[in-house]
């Protein structure tokens, strides 16, 4: 179709995807073979079924199990090589990758090796695939404020080339964004951007907390903001972009039906919206499919899809000359 051809050729950025969640089925199958006791299926169809999530906590549980298969620096480079290849195939020129460094450390990768692997993988992405990568080191809310402090220690202590931000993922139920303010303050004081997830599975309160307590410059998901017109005005006025991942939200049960996804509400309120895949390997999606979905489900036109791509480039923490080339 003309829309598919347009999207396939459109230069894009992708601002919200997780390193381990980006691993292709083939890559995860290979890792599962290396770690047969890891509780992750070694057969393709079984792995597909393993990725059928009953709800958000189930998704996080599966995510952590796959994370534990990534045990070496070489595994990290393999993931980045595969990811960069997938991005290049979708004409993504720049991506910000969320790396949950503490979880990688818990899986057995020492911090110096992790930092070196990210640097090697980033060079490889550029040289082999023509894709520029930035890093967002995301704390896992499950590991509490101490985990966030350790995340900031890693980000500031090693600061691998391409480091742009500090993030916060994991559950929002029973964990308050505001509790992570000290770690975010320290990261911001050192020049990192604040890019937490908020309002993925809960309502506007946590998005407000991300904006006020964590000084979020962009927000992962943020779809819970749709219920609060005052918050939408705030995000629109202060130009705080939301990284929206419709397929992710459907697969984790954050929305119950794709037709009910609030993306059109967010855009109608003037909030900058960028499209992202979140965990493309686990949600069976890619960035072109997210653009296509916006046309198919929400009736977005080619000029509107182009605007989404431009909003993404403006929201990216990349070098200005790269942004200009994408715009």
Q: Which residues bind Zn ion (CB under 5 A)?
A: 278
Q: Is 286 in the site for ligand HPA (CB under 6 A)?
A: no
Q: Which is nearer to Zn ion, 206 or 278 (CB)?
A: 278
Sign of CA dihedral 22, 23, 24, 29: negative
The residues pairing with 220 across neighbouring beta strands, listed in sequence order, are: 197, 243
Which of Zn ion, ligand HPA, none sits in contact with 311, Cβ below 5 to 8 A by type? none
Q: How many CB atoms lie within 10 A of CB 44?
A: 12
- Which run of H or of E encompasses 93? strand 92-99
Per the CB < 8 A criterion, the answer to whether 180 and 139 are in contact is yes
Has 307 been annotated as catalytic?
A: no
Sign of CA dihedral 206, 188, 67, 92: positive
Q: Judged by CB under 6 A, which of 86, 96, 132, 200 binds ligand HPA?
A: 200
Smallest distance from Zn ion to CB 172, Å = 11
Q: Is 170 in the site for ligand HPA (CB under 6 A)?
A: yes
Q: Is 197 in the site for ligand HPA (CB under 6 A)?
A: yes
**Active-site residue, selected from the candidate residues 14, 200, 217, 290:** 200
Q: Which is nearer to Zn ion, 73 or 135 (CB)?
A: 135
Which of ligand HPA, Zn ion, none sits in contact with 22, Cβ below 5 to 8 A by type? none
Q: Is 206 in the site for ligand HPA (CB under 6 A)?
A: no
Which of ligand HPA, Zn ion, none sits in contact with 200, Cβ below 5 to 8 A by type? ligand HPA
What would the DSSP string read from start to end of 16-40?
Answer: EEETGGG--HHHHHHHHHH-TTSS-
Which of Zn ion, ligand HPA, none sits in contact with 267, Cβ below 5 to 8 A by type? none
| Side-chain-facing half-sphere of 177: CA atoms under 13 Å | 30
- CB-closest chain residue to ligand HPA: 169
For the chain, first and last CA: distance in Å?
Answer: 24
The residues pairing with 194 across neighbouring beta strands, listed in sequence order, are: 166
Query: Which amino acids are annotated catalytic?
Result: 200
**Interface residues toward ligand HPA, by CB under 6 A:** 18, 21, 63, 169-170, 197, 200, 248, 278-279
């Amino acid at each position: 179709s003309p829309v598919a051809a347009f999207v396939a050729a459109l230069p894009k950025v992708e601002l919200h995807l997780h390193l381990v969640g980006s691993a292709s089925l083939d890559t995860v199958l290979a890792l599962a073979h290396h770690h047969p006791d890891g509780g992750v299926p070694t057969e393709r169809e079984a792995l597909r079924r393993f990725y059928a999530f009953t709800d958000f906590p189930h998704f996080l549980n599966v995510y952590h199990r796959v994370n534990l298969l990534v045990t070496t620096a070489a595994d990290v480079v393999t993931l980045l090589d595969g990811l960069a290849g997938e991005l290049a195939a979708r004409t993504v020129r720049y991506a910000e990758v969320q790396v949950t460094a503490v979880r990688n450390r818990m899986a057995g990768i020492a911090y110096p090796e992790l930092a070196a692997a990210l640097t090697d993988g980033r060079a490889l992405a550029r040289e082999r695939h023509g894709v520029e990568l930035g890093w967002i080191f995301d704390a896992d809310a499950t590991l509490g404020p101490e985990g966030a402090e350790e995340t900031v220690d890693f980000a500031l202590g090693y600061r691998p080339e391409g480091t742009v931000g500090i993030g916060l993922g994991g559950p929002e139920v029973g964990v308050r964004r505001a509790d992570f303010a000290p770690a975010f303050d320290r990261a911001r004081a050192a020049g990192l951007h604040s890019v937490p997830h908020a309002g993925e599975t809960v309502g506007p309160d946590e998005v407000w907390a991300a904006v006020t307590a964590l000084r979020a410059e962009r927000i992962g998901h943020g779809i819970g903001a749709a219920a609060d017109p005052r918050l939408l005005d705030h995000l629109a006025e202060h130009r705080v972009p939301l990284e929206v991942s419709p397929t992710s939200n459907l697969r984790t049960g954050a929305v119950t039906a794709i037709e009910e996804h609030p993306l059109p509400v967010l855009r109608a309120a003037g909030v900058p919206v960028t499209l992202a895949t979140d965990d493309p390997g686990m949600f069976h999606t890619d960035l072109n499919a997210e653009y296509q979905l916006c046309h198919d489900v929400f009736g977005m036109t080619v000029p509107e899809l182009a605007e989404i791509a431009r909003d993404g480039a403006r929201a990216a923490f990349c070098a200005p000359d790269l942004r200009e080339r994408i715009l």
